[in-house]
Amino acid sequence: MKLFNLNKLHHELDSLTFLQVCIGTIFLSIFLIAPLLLMTGQAFISKNGINLTWFTDLLGSPEYVSFQSRGGRFGEVYNGILYLWGFDYGILLNSLIVAAIVTLICSIIGVLVAFFVNRYNFFGKRIFQILLLVPLLATPFVNAYVIGKLFNPRGGLINYIFYDFLHILPWRIDIDGLFGIILAQVLSYYPIVYLNVSAALNNIDPSLEEMAENLGAKSLKLFRTITFPLIIPSLAAGAIITFIFSLEDLGATIGFIGARANPLAKKVVSYQVFSSFAEALTGGISPKVAALAVIILILTVSSYILVQKYVNIRNYTMLSKGGRWGSRVSVPSKHRQSFIFVFLLLLIIIASMPQIGTILLATTDWTTSGALPTKITGEYLTTLWTNQDVTRAITNSLVYSLIAVVIMVIVGSSIAYVVAKRNIPGKGILDLLATIPVAVPGITLAVGYFLLFGQYFRGSVLDPLKDPALLLIIAYSIRRLPFMIRSVHAGLQQIDKSLEESSFNLGAGRTTTFVKIILPLVIGHLISGALLGFVYSMAEVSTSVTLGALREDREPITFFISRIIYGVAAVGSVSIGASMCMLLMAVEIAAMTISNYILKQKVSYLGV
């Protein structure tokens, strides 16, 4: 077998395709591969040359990996306060444990909710379907602040209601540390699993379940032997995204540490990398931190690739081609209905607390008032257009996100087209490269950018110390590129080859065909991808709070919020941060609505 078919290559590689391949490859090489390679290299260099010193140091030190608890509290009561913090098993293990627990709980909740919503009819289902997605509205930093405000043993709302007011609890509770992080993450990430599993449930060929029923399988057995195996690929896809998001999450961590300075909350990888970023600016980045980032990178990327392979092999939910089936919906007994209703209601109330809390913070005096707000005020919302620091941050983010979207559209549509429609040798690598940013923690990318462009592009437009704006734009477009590509790819797959062929037969070249036939047909997906890319860019945290911190007049909205929640700004300005989160939420709702309208169906929001 010939490894490299030159004739075929020649045939496939016309000028447009060549251009598209070039755009994709060059962009990804410079802004994804090079910085990550450089960072990886850094981690292997010690005084004695190239070796594994830093890795063995790290894996051998109990501060990072410890198989017995190094302290912490869970379930202990002191002075009438019940402490729920979790235990310290070393920074690296803590992160993995937190991510694993978050993924597990999210998976259970996600599957349950998806099953209830897609298989049962019950009172208020339509509204629940919408409200279940509320946690997806990003409220970076403010969410953990709200949780801190809820669970603060002194004057926290939960303790106020259940201990001081209702006297239900025998103690006050102090939720903090790793347990607090887990709670905050579960509440914001379960919709990822829910959405993925919902899509799978809708796509299961009903005849499969009907056959099983005819053969006598019922309820739990039917679910266990037929339905569940069929949704496993989607579940795996949602779970791995949750796992990665949890590992790289800074919002919950920083929020908890900012409000409560709990020593245990500091013992996770994302915070360690983030916190050593400041050090990195002076004495050079600690190679140990680079090693830590590399370990996490290897873990996320490899697990991501494995899951992707697995999902591709096992994706047999749609046995026959064709449209959607009427889903198998039943009306459960009153008993069950009320159980489902109460379960979902509680879940939504608890999970939407960050969003509700954000709105409360933005519109009332809750920041300074204690357990309950005392008056409604518009003074914080007006800062969105009156306070020049706030408007500058908003404008910066708008500009960055818009330019990032343009880059995403150009690079994303190029790569998606080549991958979906062309048959270039090595296109698999391009595809992989373009989807990997999902699995690259933002802080890792930020460290890589800092090393590469801060050292070797000193004084140029790409030097983050001189002006981080351009790098932020590029970081946004790289990080959100996979979502764009997935969206366009989905559209391209629906276009039959015969449409292109007819165009060629009528004498149009590839460029004309691409511009006149393909683009109009995927424009909906393109716009929807662009909208989501825009929203994600606006709410991007990891690179924004690291690179964005390098110059005040270039700071994006999320860094501004972190500065407020995390200190620096004047007292009481948490409410201003909450107002900005409200703005983000509004943008997100608008984008999701428009995108749903354009595609006339629920967008498969996240996934592999």
Residues binding another protein (CB under 8 A): 46-47, 57, 61-63, 70-73, 78-79, 81, 83, 88, 152-155, 174, 257-264, 267, 275, 278-288, 368, 388-389, 458-459, 463, 465-466, 508, 512, 516, 549-553, 566-572
Distance in Å, CB of 568 to another protein, minimum: 5
What is the Cα–Cα distance from 297 to 244, expressed in whole angstroms?
A: 10
For 213, residues 6+ apart whose C-beta sits below 8 A from its C-beta are 222
Residue owning tokens 């460029």: 511
What is the Cα–Cα distance from 435 to 393, expressed in whole angstroms?
A: 29
Distance of CA 205 to the CA centre of its chain: 30
Beta bridge partner(s), residue 83: 76, 174
- Measured from the CB atom, the residue of 118 and 367 that comes closer to another protein is 367
Distance in Å, CB of 525 to another protein, minimum: 24
What is the Cα–Cα distance from 300 to 306, expressed in whole angstroms?
A: 10
Distance in Å, CB of 397 to another protein, minimum: 17
Residue type, 123: F
Query: How far, CA to CA in Å, does 337 sit from each of 220, 329, 331, 482, 504?
Result: 17, 13, 8, 39, 57
Distance in Å, CB of 284 to another protein, minimum: 4
Distance in Å, CB of 281 to another protein, minimum: 5
Beta bridge partner(s), residue 49: 46
- Measured from the CB atom, the residue of 434 and 547 that comes closer to another protein is 547
Beta bridge partner(s), residue 77: 82
What is the Cα–Cα distance from 561 to 255, expressed in whole angstroms?
A: 11
- Measured from the CB atom, the residue of 259 and 584 that comes closer to another protein is 259
Distance in Å, CB of 237 to another protein, minimum: 36
- Measured from the CB atom, the residue of 257 and 490 that comes closer to another protein is 257
Query: How far, CA to CA in Å, does 547 sit from each of 37, 129, 444, 466, 542?
Result: 19, 37, 11, 11, 9
**CB neighbourhood size of 414 (10 A):** 25
- Measured from the CB atom, the residue of 113 and 280 that comes closer to another protein is 280
| Dmax (CA) of the chain | 84
What is the Cα–Cα distance from 276 to 313, expressed in whole angstroms?
A: 41
Distance in Å, CB of 162 to another protein, minimum: 18
Distance in Å, CB of 282 to another protein, minimum: 4
Distance in Å, CB of 89 to another protein, minimum: 12
Q: DSSP class of residue 578?
A: H
- Measured from the CB atom, the residue of 271 and 417 that comes closer to another protein is 271
- Measured from the CB atom, the residue of 87 and 536 that comes closer to another protein is 87
**CB neighbourhood size of 112 (10 A):** 18
What is the Cα–Cα distance from 11 to 3, expressed in whole angstroms?
A: 16
What is the Rg, in whole angstroms, of the alpha carbon atoms belonging to the chain? 25
- Measured from the CB atom, the residue of 376 and 571 that comes closer to another protein is 571
What is the Cα–Cα distance from 51 to 54, expressed in whole angstroms?
A: 8
- Measured from the CB atom, the residue of 115 and 449 that comes closer to another protein is 449
- Measured from the CB atom, the residue of 63 and 496 that comes closer to another protein is 63
Distance in Å, CB of 601 to another protein, minimum: 31
